[in-house]
Amino acid sequence: MAKRIDVSDLNVYYGAFKAVEGVSMTVEPRSVTAFIGPSGCGKSTFLRTLNRMHEVIPGGRVEGKVMLDDQDLYAPSMDPVMVRRTIGMVFQRPNPFPTMSIYDNVAAGLRLNGVRNKKTLDGIVEQSLKGANLWNEVKDRLSKPGAGLSGGQQQRLCIARAIAVQPQVLLMDEPCSALDPISTLAIEDLINELKSDYTIVIVTHNMQQAARVSDRTAFFNLKATGEPGRLIEIDETTKIFNNPNEQSTEDYISGRFG
């Protein structure tokens, strides 16, 4: 079910601006990889290139190669819509569809792609909500608007929505930055459970969070404003946080911790 991502020598541009330069890394299947680094270092930008979401922004394009197992995500024959169906994404701010009920939100990805069978949908909705640890809280009000849930519940709803289309990989762009500590904890628990089924990549500003949830951590940095962001190093999380290879990684981590 989960797949490995291999990135080699990736540059990301927005128009003429080079946002990220020369990233090569491997994201291991059935594990959590965290991206950390200062604001503007390109970690979110890079994350979006993993399911071609950067193409939604005018002028966004990449050079280099991203492989999902043996599939080239940027092959000319590859349709970005198919890529995104396989590699799901959870965003910084919970964004349930405001016109839809809880049920409809989870079923949205399937329905919008043409699945009509009520039984199939019921099954997947229940399974996804259970998978997102939300089922018990909402099972009695599935027809209520999704926007009526609390922030943390909304984010778990968005995760349920993302896993309902049964992706191989789940990308999370600072999924807890808009949430309170208790909701954050719930999401972190959920990430721990999800990694047995999915390859998970999470961007976070919170280093304790990276230390808590991830198996491997990648540190991004940029030399100066206006310069492209780069991958400084990627390694086992314990190694990055205790004994990183690069001085700048250590500075960043200790600066935050100290």
Partner 1 sequence: MSALKTDQRVPEDENMTGDSPTSPPPSNRSGNEALREMSNPHRGRAIKDLIARIAMWVSFFVAMVPLAWILWTVVSKGIHLLLSATWWTGNQRNINSSDVGGGARHAIEGTLMMAGVTALIAVPIGILTAVYLVEYGRGGLARAISFMVDILSGVPSIVAALFIYAVWVTTFGLDRSGFAAALALVLLMIPVIVRSTEEMLKLVPNELREAAYALGVPKWVTIVKIVLRTAFSGIVTGVLLGLARIMGETAPLLILAPYTKNFQHDLFNGNFPTLPMMINQDRGDFALASAAARMWGTALTLILLVLLLNIIGRVIAHFGSVKK
Partner 2 sequence: MSTVTGVSATDDPPGPDGRTPLRGVSASTGRLGDRLFGGAATVSGVIVIATVTLIAVFLIVQAVPALRDNQASFFTSREWAPGGDTPRFGIVEFLWTTVAASTMAMIIAVPFGVAVALFLTQYAPLWMRGPAAALVDLLAAVPSIVYGLWGLITFAPFFKPIQGWLENTLGWIPLFSPTGISGGTILFIGLVLSIMVLPIVTALSREVFAQTPLAHKEGALALGATRWEMIRTAVLPFGRPGVISAAMLALGRALGETIAVTFLVSSLPDGAAWTWSLFNGGETFASKIANNAAEFSNPNKTGAYIAAGLVLFVLTFIVNSIARIVIERRKAFTE
CA distance 158 to 89: 9
Question: Residue 150, interface with partner 2 (CB under 8 A)?
Answer: no
Q: How far is the CB of 16 from partner 1 (least distance, A)?
A: 16
3 is an interface residue for partner 1 by CB under 8 A: no
CA distances from 218 to 73, 81, 119 (A): 21, 27, 42
Question: How far apart, in whole angstroms, are the C-alpha atoms of residue 107 and residue 126?
Answer: 10
CA distance 248 to 252: 6
Q: Which does 158 bind (CB under 5 to 8 A by kind): partner 1, partner 2, none?
A: partner 1
Q: Is 97 in the site for partner 1 (CB under 8 A)?
A: yes
CA distance 200 to 123: 24
Is 73 one of the binding residues for partner 1 (CB under 8 A)?
no
Q: How far apart are CA 252 and CA 138, in angstroms?
A: 41
Helices (H) and strands (E) in the chain, counts: 10, 10
Q: Applying CB under 8 A, which part among 15-23, 32-40, 161-169, 185-193 lies near partner 1?
A: 161-169
Residue 29 interacts with partner 1 (CB under 8 A)?
no
* Dist CA 123 CA 99 (whole Å): 22
Restricting to residues 190-229, which ones interact with partner 1 according to CB under 8 A? none
State how far Cα 72 lies from the chain centre.
19
Element (DSSP H or E) covering residue 89: strand 87-90
Of these, 9, 17, 82, 196, which contacts partner 1 (CB under 8 A)? Answer: 82
Over its C-alpha atoms, the chain yields an Rg (Å, rounded) of: 18
Residue that is written with structure tokens 């609390």 in the block? 150
Per CB under 8 A, does 108 bind partner 2?
no
Q: Which does 226 bind (CB under 5 to 8 A by kind): partner 2, partner 1, none?
A: none
Residue closer to partner 2 (CB basis): 81 or 224: 81
Residues that bind partner 2 (CB under 8 A): 1, 68, 71, 73, 77-79, 81-83, 85-86, 110, 113-117, 120, 123-124, 127, 165-166, 168
Residues that bind partner 1 (CB under 8 A): 51, 53, 56, 58, 81-86, 88-89, 91, 93, 95-99, 108-109, 112-113, 145, 147, 158, 161-162, 165
